[in-house]
Amino acid sequence: MLNKDVKIINVGIADIQGGQSPSMIRTTLGSCIGVVFYSPEKKVGAMAHIMLAKDPSGKDSSKNPHKYAETALPELVKRMAELGCNKGDYFARLFGGASMFKGMNSSFLQNIGDLNVSVAKEFLDKEKITLLVEDVGGHEGRTISLYLDDGRILLKKGGFEKYLYKVR
């Protein structure tokens, strides 16, 4: 049961949200990925719900920058800066990227999740943002909730729930 002072911030598809303790940030993922940044010292965090790795046309990302990993992840870094954090103050966790389209004969649809995860990891590595925890792939969707008071994540997947406490 959540304390009545806790504000729940929902992250939609192709969306980025941030907040500070005692808020909680939540999203539900399939082949999309959720990239979570959290600063344990400042008790602030941000989450991106990313649909696709790259803009295939090169035209949509200017209208919908949060939809694509290549444009959303720099925006997520900016959101953390707006919350008073520099790189090195926060750590990353990565979720989603499930193969939700099994049975379809499209390699594009079957590989959306893998490509999303790959591009996100490349970005984190290039930007030297430490990836602490990941729960990616498989064939099941996930709901993730980031509690900004201590950085724990409640992961719901396949009818099970577990808390992930690693924040640094």
The CATH number assigned to the domain holding 130 equals 3.30.1330.200
Nearest CA-CA partner of 139 in 114, 107, 164, 105: 114
More confident residue, 6 or 133: 133
The answer to whether residue 168 sits within a structural domain is no
Long-range CB contacts (within 8 A, 24+) of 24-27: 24/145, 24/146, 24/147, 24/148, 25/145, 25/146, 25/148, 26/143, 26/144, 26/145, 26/146, 27/143, 27/144
Handedness of CA 66, 67, 70, 76 (dihedral sign): positive
Q: What is the mean pLDDT of the chain?
A: 93
Judge whether 3 lies within some domain: no
Task: Say if CB 143 and CB 28 are below 8 A apart.
Answer: yes
Domain membership flag for residue 127: yes
Q: How many domains does the chain have?
A: 1
Whether 132 is in a domain gets the answer yes
- Per-residue DSSP letter, 66: G
What's the whole-model pTM score? 0.93
Structural domain includes residue 1: no
Does residue 32 lie within any of the structural domains?
yes
- Residues β-bridged to residue 130: none
Are 153 and 146 a contacting pair, CB within 8 Å? Answer: yes
Q: Which domain holds residue 60?
A: 8-161
Q: Residue 61 domain-assigned? A: yes
* pLDDT reported for residue 109: 56
Residue 15 lies inside a defined structural domain of this protein: yes
Pairwise CA distance, residues 136 & 118, whole Å: 11
Rounded to the nearest angstrom, the gap between the alpha carbon of residue 140 and the centroid of all alpha carbons in its chain is: 16
With cut-offs at 50, 70 and 90, classify the pLDDT of residue 136: very high
